[in-house]
Amino acid sequence: MIVPILGALALLLALLALLVAVLWSIRRQRDVDLRLPASAGIGQLLPTLAGLSSSPVVGGNAVELVENGRYFDVLLERIRGARHSVHLETFLWKDGAIGRQLGTALAERAAAGCQVRLMLDANGCRRMGAPTLRHLQDAGCKVAFFHDNALRNIGLLNNRDHRKLVVFDGREALVGGHCIVDAWLGDAEDHLHNADLSVLVGGPIVNTLQGVFSENWISETRELFGGEDHFPHLPPAGDTAIHAAWLKPDGAAPAVKILHHAAICLARERIWIQNPYFIPQPAAIDALGEAVARGVDVRVLMPATSGSDNPMVQHAGHRNFEKLLRCGVRLFEYPHTLLHQKAMTIDRAWSAIGSSNFDDRSFETNDELTLGILDDALAARLDGVFEKYVARAEEVQLDAWRRRGAWHKLKDNGAYLFHLLL
């Protein structure tokens, strides 16, 4: 009797191992060789950077930086002024004052005949509140959930839609890191209010961003939308060149990963990174170290464990601090609240801003959206935000870091074991 049971158990384990191997083979991606010889500055090599991340450079755009709680003022104003369509894609929506206010504004536009489509991550938006969801649906809003807990998604449940994108009438769009949660209100004035950055863009790039929204919408609903109300002819709205990174080709490195890593290779003067979850891969650490070696000022600003909403992520990042510091990278931790902005500036000219964290989950697994923007004024604004927060941050010093306690080191190394899931 024991032999058949053991045989059945062995067969079950073999089938489980086969299933894991199949799922891994479907989701795996090849690593990128992070070496890109730079023959010129990043401005001149913008077509290279855009081309490598699978999106053309689009000129003639206007861009405005939107910081902290002002994001919701802009969002609600644009929703109330929309005539034809509002398309919103987000990772995190929790029941609260701003969630209910946003739900009311969207429902009002839908009831007035405006087409409202909401692409919500099934995991991050599970606590948006049943009354808000019913209100939206009853008003005529179309709501789809990305990768819900269904059998058909069994191999994709770890793949989340982390984008934060809103497109208004196909003519303007908001892109950045803001979530629909009350903690994003205010001005990062205390530990209860987060700091974050988004950009409001207008011009031809919005056609591309409407296409980004359509990708997951079509995947989940099979509905196509088009016409002048969604993809209008867009004349120039400014003189800013923008390219978008969002694609995840099968078996290849996602565009957001290539974008961030290639930009590091092109820097000649400085790289300033603001990111809440900074867990670079070893090859990225080497690329940052090589940048320092060629005279680039590399600085990273992130929350401390006391400011983070997920201290385990910060501990996972700590595991690589010593190597980064030895390479000459300057690290700053902000202890007062969550700095959630995902921004990087290169040589005071080019900026990356969007939803991507600087970690394996964003670069390998999640659906993300980052804009590459060539605009000196925007880069200066982002550098100004960096300087504002770094003035109250604590710089990590190599000698002191090496002397941190054994318990701290144990937490760092233990958390790093799960960095692919954080």
Query: Which structural domains are found in the chain, ordered by start?
Result: 32-416 (3.30.870.10)
Q: Indicate if the pLDDT at residue 361 is higher than 70.
A: yes
Neighbouring residues of 259: CB distance < 8 A, sequence distance ≥ 6: 49, 52, 53, 245, 352, 370, 372
Neighbouring residues of 388: CB distance < 8 A, sequence distance ≥ 6: none
The pLDDT score that the predictor gives to residue 413 is: 85
The token pair at 179 is 């979530």
What are 403-414's pLDDT values in tens digits? Answer: 999 899 889 888
Q: What is the pTM of this model?
A: 0.92
Average pLDDT of the chain to the nearest whole number = 92
Active site positions, annotated: 162, 164, 169, 340, 342, 347
Q: How far apart are CA 265 and CA 248, in angstroms?
A: 21
* HSE-CB for 123 with a 13 A CA cutoff: 12
The pLDDT score that the predictor gives to residue 235 is: 97
Say which residue the tokens 């999106």 belong to: 55
By C-alpha distance, which of 247, 249, 306, 317 is closest to 284? 317
Q: How far apart are CA 164 and CA 157, in angstroms?
A: 19
**Residue 410: strand, helix, or coil:** helix
Least confident of 56-70, 140-154, 182-196: 140-154
What are 208-251's pLDDT values in tens digits? Answer: 999 999 999 999 999 999 999 999 999 999 999 999 999 998 87
Alpha helices in 153-243 (DSSP H): 205-221
Mean pLDDT computed over 183-196: 96
Across the strands, what pairs with 31? none
The token pair at 117 is 């489509």
Q: Indicate if the pLDDT at residue 32 is higher than 70.
A: no
Other Cβ atoms less than 10 A from the Cβ of 231: the count is 15
Q: Under a CB-based contact definition with an 8 Å cutoff, are residues 128 and 99 in contact?
A: yes
Say which residue the tokens 């937490």 belong to: 411
33-37, Cβ contacts within 8 angstroms, sequence gap of 24 or more:
33/283, 34/261, 34/262, 34/264, 34/265, 34/283, 34/284, 34/286, 34/287, 35/265, 35/287, 36/262, 36/265, 36/266, 37/265
